[in-house]
Amino acid sequence: MLYCDAYLTPRSLADAFTAMAEYRGRYRLVAGATDTLPWARAGRAGDVAIPALIDVSAIPELRERRVDATRVRIGAATPMQRFLDDGDLARAMPVMARCAVWFADDQIRAAATVGGNLVNASPAADATPPLLAHDAQVELACAREGKITRRRMALGDFVRGPGKTALEADEILLAIECAALPGYGAEFEKVGHRRSLVIATVCLAAVVRLDAAHAIADLRLAVGGVGPVPCRLHESENFLRGGAATLARLEEAAHMTVGLVQSRTRHDYRRDVLHGFVVRGLASALRRAGGASPPVGELEASHA
């Protein structure tokens, strides 16, 4: 169990920083608490006593939502379920919607925040690959010498390793900003040991846009679960961009991921699945992007 002497719910950024200063070194931030509470149980951290829990989910800046044709800005405390039930957001971030149906379950998603997922920095965090695919930037804030200052960085630089991020002890993750990708075809592939409430062994985010000639105008691929941090598959992307979407080319792009798997456990399995996910994930994304998607028929053939 997680025990605390105080549970604070600041209603403004300034109040949050005041509380953080007061409890310096003796607090922990929570948003949805869906990582924090299960962590403080037997078999993991066990009983944990923390002087203060500071709940950041009621701070207006962390609940922001701005969506237009080109950009998206969402507060860090945005629950994962928003990517499914907020139509504008789902259209601007089609791969986040696909990711969200695989994320935990409807109830956890109602509480679990996108910021918590990023800060928790699990190698298998589901939201990270889609956000990498969106070239997301994170915005961090802190109060130093009485002044609130903000800084930004690419998500890829923010997540540093399992449980490690660039967040400083006195910082809060404020918001995430990224490109809107309306009209992109998207797919999120994920495999674990079941189909709900499942931690990914491998997950892959794929988004694609086709040009008038049905060549690949833009695509982004990102993977989670195969190394200490989720990452983009730039080599495969560069190879495919501008070309035709044939099965042979997809296979070749997938082949470029062979050396990428760093996880020691289930290494060969992850390598094989990643390879397959690149092909199949892209094929579905292509189909959703309106492509003729020649490969899909063959791939999804089931002899039933």
Partner 1 sequence: MPDLRIDATVNGRAISRPAKPWQRLLDFLRDDLNLTGNKEGCGAGECGTCSVFLDGVLVKSCLVPVAKAQNARVETIESLGRAGALSVLQRAFHKAGASQCGYCIPGMVMAGTAALRANPLAGREEIRERLGGNICRCTGYQKILDAVELTRDVGNGTLPESALAEEEPADGRFIGANVRRLDAPSKVSGALKYAADMTMPGMLHVQVLRSPHPHARIVSIDTAGAQAMPGVAGVVMADDVPGIDGFGVFVNDQPVLARGKVRYVGDAIVAVAAEDELTARRALDHVTVVYDPLPAVFDPREAMRPGAPVIHDDAPDNITKHIPIRVGDVESGFARSDLIVTQTYSTQAIEHAYLEPEAGLGYVDPDGVVTIISPSQNITHHRHMLARILALPINRVRFIMSPVGGGFGGKEDMIYQGILALLAIKTGRPVRYVFTREESIIATAKRHPSRTTLKMGLTRDGRICAVEFRMISDGGAYGLSTEGVMRKAAILGAGPYNIANLRMDTYGVYTNNTPSGAFRSFGALQTQFATESHLDICAEKLGLDPFAIRRVNAMRDGAVTHTKQTLGSVSLMRALAAAEEAARWEAGPPSSRGATRHDLGGAGNRAPCTLGARFAAAEHAAQPEKVA
Partner 2 sequence: MARRRGRGMAACWYGIARTATVDRAAAWAEIDDGGTAKIATGVTEIGEGILTVLAQIAAEELGIRPQDVTIGDNDTARAPEAAHAGATRQTYMIGNAVALAARQARAQLVDVVASQWGVAANLVETANGEVFARKTNHRMPMGDAVSLCKSRGVVPVGAASFGTDTTGLDPVDGSGRPWQAYVFGCQVAEVEVDTLTGEVQVLGVWAVHDVGRAVNPRGVEGQIEGGIVQALGQALMEDYRIENGRTTTPGLAKYILPTALDVPHVTSVILEDRDPIGPLGVKGIGEPAMVPTIPAVMNAIYDAVGARITALPATPERVLEAIKERERASRHRAAAE
Ligand X SMILES: Cc1cc2nc3c(=O)[nH]c(=O)nc-3n(C[C@H](O)[C@H](O)[C@H](O)COP(=O)(O)OP(=O)(O)OC[C@H]3O[C@@H](n4cnc5c(N)ncnc54)[C@H](O)[C@@H]3O)c2cc1C
The residues of the shown chain that bind partner 1, judged by CB under 8 A, are: 1-7, 9, 30, 32-34, 37-38, 41-43, 47, 52-53, 55, 57, 84, 97-98, 101-102, 104-108, 110-111, 195-197, 303-304
**Which C-beta is closer to partner 1: that of 50 or that of 231?**
50
* Of residues 151 and 255, the one with the C-beta less far from ligand X: 151
Q: In this structure, are residues 250 and 293 in contact, taking their beta carbons and an 8 Å threshold?
A: no
Per the listing, tokens 């990708």 go with 181
Using only the alpha carbons of the chain, give its radius of gyration: 20
117 binds ligand X, rule: CB under 6 A: yes
Site for partner 2 in 41-60 (CB under 8 A): 41-44
Q: Name the residue whose CB lies closest to ligand X.
A: 116
Distance CA 184, CA 286 (A): 9
Restricting to residues 167-226, which ones interact with ligand X according to CB under 6 A?
A: 167, 172-173, 197
One-letter identity of residue 150: R
- Joined together, the tokens standing for residue 180 give 């809107």
Does residue 222 contact residue 231 with C-beta atoms inside 8 Å?
A: yes
Binding mask 45-84 for ligand X (x = CB under 6 A): -----------x-----x-------------x--------
Per-position b or e across 210-243, b if 16+ CB within 10 A of its CB: beeeeebebbbbbbbbbbebbbbbeebbebbeee
* Number of shown-chain residues binding ligand X (CB under 6 A): 30
In the list partner 1, ligand X, partner 2, none, the entry touching 269 (Cβ below 5 to 8 angstroms by class) is partner 2
* Contact (CB, 8 A) for 288 and 187: yes
Specify the stretch interacting with ligand X by CB under 6 A; choose among 2-10, 27-35, 42-50, 290-298.
27-35
187 φ/ψ angles, rounded to the nearest 5 degrees? -150, 145
Q: Which residues contact 240 (CB under 8 A, 6 or more apart)?
A: 216, 219, 249, 250, 253, 282
The residues of the shown chain that bind ligand X, judged by CB under 6 A, are: 28-36, 38, 56, 62, 76, 103-104, 108, 111-113, 115-117, 119-120, 125-126, 167, 172-173, 197
Question: In the complex, which residues of this chain contact partner 2 (CB under 8 A)?
Answer: 38, 41-44, 191, 193-199, 201, 266, 268-269, 272-273, 276-277, 279-280, 299-304
